[in-house]
């Protein structure tokens, strides 16, 4: 049996569902055991040691008693390192290089918020992955078809949690932080209990902004930290993309850039606990 997750565009205004918007279905039974995803083990990782020595990562979490508290402190710190600039790219795409350029006064995109957040959390022993979000019309939009955030695995809750450093956001429902699909489901069901924990934005504003991006989701097969090494792929694909049942598998991003991903409809594939 497949779990049906109902979405409605008019949730942007916290109204009733739009009957013209198709329901999204994700497979909750099938699992592909060949889809092994690598996560940072943080064992003598020289790159992460360098990150912690150059930036105050360890001091940020002093006094934090839970994984959730550690995440909030680091998320808040990353959010405040620079102002969002959707048109500026760093010279290199690793956390240390990005933060070095930030010291020079540069501002960067959502992509860099995701990269830096993931690296900082990996540095303190919390398995984290950079998360790509894409709109339903990702192939035909000229721009604005994607956003980048992160997901972190909270050991004390035994679950993945969506975090967005650009907005300093963590979605929570009934005192439980949500992963990206759970967040999508909570928005779609118009649940008044949904909370957006943020120092930056309100629930209404963020919901209106993020909702269109919560359609396609992708993560790397190799989420380890470092530079200048060959990353793991599966069948030549560097990423795993979660696709709603019945939706097309996109191969082009914003009309011209190739999407090279392994596709799945299974939440179990996408949200397997890290080994």
pLDDT in tens, 191-224: 789 999 999 999 999 999 999 999 999 999 999 9
Owning domain of residue 114: 3-270
Structure tokens, 229: 């090494």
Q: 47-56 — which CB contacts under 8 Å span 24+ positions?
A: 47/94, 47/96, 47/225, 47/226, 47/227, 48/119, 48/122, 48/123, 48/225, 50/96, 51/95, 51/96, 51/119, 51/120, 51/123, 51/225, 52/123, 54/96, 54/99, 55/99, 55/120
Q: 244 with 215: CB under 8 angstroms?
A: yes
pLDDT at 35: 95
77: in domain: yes
Which one has a higher pLDDT value, 40 or 275? 40
Is residue 87 assigned to a domain?
yes
Checking if the pLDDT of 22 tops 70, the result is no
Question: How many structural domains is the chain composed of?
Answer: 1
- Tell me, yes or no, whether 161 lies in a domain: yes
Q: Write out the DSSP string of 8-36.
A: -GGGGGT----TTSPPEEEBSS---TT--
What mean pLDDT do residues 7-29 have? Answer: 46
The share of the chain scoring above pLDDT 70, in percent, equals: 91
Whether the predicted pLDDT of 92 surpasses 70: yes
DSSP annotation of 256 reads T
Mean pLDDT value of segment 81-108: 98
What is the arithmetic mean of pLDDT over 41-51?
96
Q: Is 275 contained in some domain?
A: no
Two structure tokens written together for 40: 């940072």
Residue 134 lies in a domain: yes
Binning pLDDT at 50, 70 and 90, where does residue 174 land? very high
In a domain, 237, yes or no: yes
Q: What is the mean pLDDT of the chain?
A: 91
Q: How far apart are CA 263 and CA 224, in angstroms?
A: 21
At 230-244, the pLDDT tens digits run: 999 999 999 999 999
pLDDT at position 75: 98
């Amino acid at each position: 049996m497949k779990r049906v997750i109902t979405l409605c565009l008019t949730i942007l205004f916290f109204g009733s569902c739009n009957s013209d918007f198709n329901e999204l279905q994700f497979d909750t039974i099938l699992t592909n055991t060949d889809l092994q995803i690598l996560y940072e083990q943080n064992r003598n990782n020289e790159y992460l040691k360098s990150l912690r020595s150059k930036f105050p990562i360890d001091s940020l979490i002093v006094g934090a008693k839970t994984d959730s508290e550690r995440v909030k402190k680091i998320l808040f710190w990353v959010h405040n390192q620079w102002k969002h600039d959707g048109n500026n790219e760093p010279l290199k795409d690793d956390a240390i290089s990005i933060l070095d350029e930030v010291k020079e006064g540069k501002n960067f995109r959502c992509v860099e918020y995701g990269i830096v957040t993931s690296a900082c959390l990996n540095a303190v022993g919390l398995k984290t992955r950079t998360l790509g979000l894409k709109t339903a019309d990702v192939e035909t939009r000229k721009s604005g078809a994607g956003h980048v955030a992160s997901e972190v695995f909270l050991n004390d809750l035994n679950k993945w949690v969506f975090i967005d450093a650009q907005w300093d956001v963590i979605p929570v429902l009934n005192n439980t932080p949500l992963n990206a699909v759970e967040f999508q489901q909570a928005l779609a069901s118009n649940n008044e209990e949904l909370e957006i924990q943020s120092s930056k934005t309100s629930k209404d504003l963020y919901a209106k902004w993020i909702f269109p991006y919560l359609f396609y989701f992708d993560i790397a097969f190799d989420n380890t930290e470092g530079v200048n090494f060959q990353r793991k792929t599966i069948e030549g694909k560097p990423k795993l993309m979660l696709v709603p049942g019945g939706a097309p598998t996109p191969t082009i991003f914003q009309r011209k850039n190739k999407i090279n991903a392994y596709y799945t409809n299974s939440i179990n594939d996408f949200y397997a606990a890290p080994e």
